[in-house]
Amino acid sequence: MDLIVGIDFSSNSIGVTFSHGGKIEYLSILNRWQLTTGKEFKREYELDRNVALKNLLKIGNFQLEIFDRKPNSMVKSGKSSKKKKSEEEITLSKKELTRWGITHLEQCMYLSEFAFKVISDKITSITRRNNITKIYCAIEHYSYSSESDNLIQMVEFTYPLKISLVKMLGRNNFFLISGPEIKMLAGNGNWDKFQMYQAFQKEGLLDECSSFISENESILTKDIMKNQKPNKDVAKPVDDLIDSYFIAKWLEINLSTLLS
């Protein structure tokens, strides 16, 4: 029996789907710390604030793991009245950039190591409980068309995790898929989170976690305005679990072609 693993990665929320023998198990790896508009730390994923998590934690084929990665904010120096920055400001900027870089490196190492341990432990657990003979994994690839600091940071965050997974599973058992390709499988390459949610509902999955997600739109989505039009947003970590499901589905569908 094959074990198919689909990973949707972001620096604050990682969704993972494990598919084997017609069964599905879900894993969510969440960052407890988020930055508010007032630049104060808050614990967004505390259970008393997150209805989705409260209910998901009652479900047998869902697992939650929490990590603490405080936002690595850049402290800006005061503005100078002169056109050129003073030597003091330049020195402060260099020191702050060095501090930020070191902290960012530590966070990359921490998150990648934590995520790999949780995912590899889950793979080991499923393998022991089932007659698993081969393991295949796919992770969403970053878009090279997005030229930004966020892209660079995403590369740095995911690279150690990918290397660890390749070493564990083997190069021929590890694959990358682009975001638009995931959405195309669901229906359209430009779909937003709510449209992906609706596509997931149409999958007709009967396991406990999938059924909960599909049947509880009222508590897992909220009304928002997008491009000056009414829309809906999908609660964390449900949106990432949905993406990871379609990544796993893509891998399962295309596996024979990828291996040929």
Rounded Cα distance between 13 and 4, Å, is 20
Residue 249 lies in a domain: yes
Query: What pLDDT is stored for residue 48 in this prediction?
Result: 54
CA dihedral 159, 140, 208, 115 (to 10 degrees): 10
Query: What pLDDT is stored for residue 162 in this prediction?
Result: 93
Query: Please, what are the averages of pLDDT over each run of 10 residues along the chain (260 residues)?
Result: 95 93 95 54 54 88 88 54 53 72 83 94 96 95 62 80 95 93 90 94 96 93 78 88 97 94
**What tokens appear for 241 in the block?**
């679990």
Burial class of 207 by CB neighbour count within 10 A (0 to 12, 13 to 18, 19+): middle
DSSP 69: -
Rounded Cα distance between 195 and 77, Å, is 42
Residue length of the chain: 260
| Ordered alpha helix ranges (H), 43-148 | 51-56, 87-129
With tokens 């930004």, the residue in question is: 148
Residue 114 lies in a domain: yes
**What tokens appear for 145 in the block?**
């068309």
Tell me the pairing of strands 13-20 and 23-31.
Answer: antiparallel
Residue 81 lies in a domain: no
Residue 246 lies in a domain: yes
3-state secondary structure 37-60: CCCCEEECCCHHHCHHHHHHCCCC
Residue 83 lies in a domain: no
Residue 82 lies in a domain: no
Residue 80 lies in a domain: no
Domain extent for 212: 2-71+91-259
**What tokens appear for 31 in the block?**
């960052």
Query: What pLDDT is stored for residue 83 in this prediction?
Result: 53
Residue 76 lies in a domain: no
With tokens 């999908």, the residue in question is: 234
What is the pTM (predicted TM-score) of this model?
A: 0.85
Rounded Cα distance between 179 and 189, Å, is 8
Nearest CA to 244 out of 1, 41, 92, 26 is that of 26
H-helix or E-strand containing 233?
A: strand 229-234
| CATH code: domain of residue 135 | 3.30.420.10
Rounded Cα distance between 252 and 54, Å, is 30
Provide the number of structural domains found in the chain: 1
Burial class of 191 by CB neighbour count within 10 A (0 to 12, 13 to 18, 19+): middle
Q: Is the dihedral of CA 146, 149, 155, 161 positive or negative?
A: negative
